[in-house]
A and B are shown apart, each in its own frame.
Chain A
Amino acid sequence: MRPLALLLGLAAGAGAALLALRRLDAVEVTGASMAPALLPRDRLLVESLTYARRRPRPGEVVLATDPREPGRELIKRVAAVSGAQAQLLGDHPAESTDSRTFGDVPLEAIRWRVALRYWPPLRFGGIGSTAGTGEPWVVAG
């Protein structure tokens, strides 16, 4: 079991270092525009290493500064990237305010990529690179 312990130790150390450097962070989802992939109160691990070295790709779930309210961060899926801009859409269009309303956002507004969901534990894991699987999830109001 010793190599496993070593591996876990290394992973924990790397995680702590990234947290300290503000390259890794934990966030909580509000709103239903990413249902069913992400539900309100889901907790996610996000990282800012990827977009320091490359552009966002379609299918990735990202945090972006709200172009209309800079103090707020949105979570949406990248639908397309062209030039210096990205089109962001929610997975659940009827419940989403996104690039259809506020247009494409500049790539500088996107620094964080969603790495995985860690809460709730039963839904631990990646978010997937395509939109929801058609699970019935309707939120009105």
Chain B
Amino acid sequence: MLTLRSLLRPTRRVHAHCDIPCGVYDPEQARIEAESCLRIIEKHDASDDALFRARCIHVKEERAELVKHHLDVLWHDYFKPEHLEKYPDLHETFWKATKQASKVKQSLDAGAARELLTMIDTIDDMWKSTGGLEKTRVNGRPS
């Protein structure tokens, strides 16, 4: 029996492919998106244009989602088991930071956005002290 479901099922995978993980991991990527969230919340609060405020909410949610994504990538791709030995609270830190990003996504609380920035800075310290800066940033890039 030819069902709609069987018609819609893909017959094969096609590869939008990349050979090489580039090895560039940098908490700044998450931080910029988080800064964006904070500024958008401030702009939202300062405006009385309903349409603009709606756009602020929409874009802020997108940015907060990107924060989560960038933190996730750092967490599972940059940090290695030996880093966990050095920072036993690594998982806890990432878990809390990504939860905080969810909070920023769900709310218009500027305080929550500031707290998120602080948490990303903690991760940034871990990243720096495990040599992330030297491993990742291309020569000459200011820290």
Q: Which residues of A contact B (CB under 8 A)?
A: 16, 19, 25-35, 38, 40, 43-44, 63, 66, 72-76, 90, 94-97, 101, 118-119, 136, 138-141
Q: Which residues of B contact A (CB under 8 A)?
A: 2, 7-22, 24-25, 29, 66, 69-70, 73, 76-77
Complex contacts, A74 vs chain B, CB 8 Å: 14-17
Complex alpha-carbon distance, A141 and B23, angstroms: 6
Complex contacts, A72 vs chain B, CB 8 Å: 15, 17
* 3 shortest interchain CB distances as A-B pairs: A141-B77, A31-B16, A28-B10
CB distance from A125 to the nearest CB of B (A): 16
Residue of B at shortest CB range from A28?
A: B10
Residue of B at shortest CB range from A90?
A: B16
Given A101-B19, A118-B8, A140-B21; A16-B14 close (CB under 8 Å): no
Complex alpha-carbon distance, A119 and B14, angstroms: 15
CB distance from A31 to the nearest CB of B (A): 4
> Do B8 and A26 touch (CB < 8 A)?
yes
Residue of B at shortest CB range from A25?
A: B11
Complex alpha-carbon distance, A25 and B25, angstroms: 38
Given A138-B29, A140-B25, A140-B73; A75-B16 close (CB under 8 Å): yes
Given A140-B24, A140-B77; A30-B8 close (CB under 8 Å): no
> Do A26 and B18 touch (CB < 8 A)?
no
Residue from the list A31, A97, A101, A119 in contact with B8, Cβ < 8 A: A119
Complex alpha-carbon distance, A138 and B70, angstroms: 8
> Do A76 and B16 touch (CB < 8 A)?
yes
CB distance from B61 to the nearest CB of A (A): 13
> Do A95 and B13 touch (CB < 8 A)?
no
> Do A66 and B15 touch (CB < 8 A)?
yes
Complex alpha-carbon distance, A38 and B2, angstroms: 28
Q: List 11 A-B contacts (CB under 8 A).
A: A27-B14, A29-B14, A43-B8, A63-B14, A73-B12, A73-B14, A74-B15, A90-B17, A101-B19, A138-B29, A140-B21
> Do B17 and A31 touch (CB < 8 A)?
yes
Complex contacts, B2 vs chain A, CB 8 Å: 16
Complex contacts, B14 vs chain A, CB 8 Å: 27-30, 44, 63, 73-75
Complex contacts, B18 vs chain A, CB 8 Å: 31-33, 90, 95-97
Complex contacts, A44 vs chain B, CB 8 Å: 14
Complex alpha-carbon distance, A101 and B18, angstroms: 10
> Do B9 and A96 touch (CB < 8 A)?
no
CB distance from B51 to the nearest CB of A (A): 21
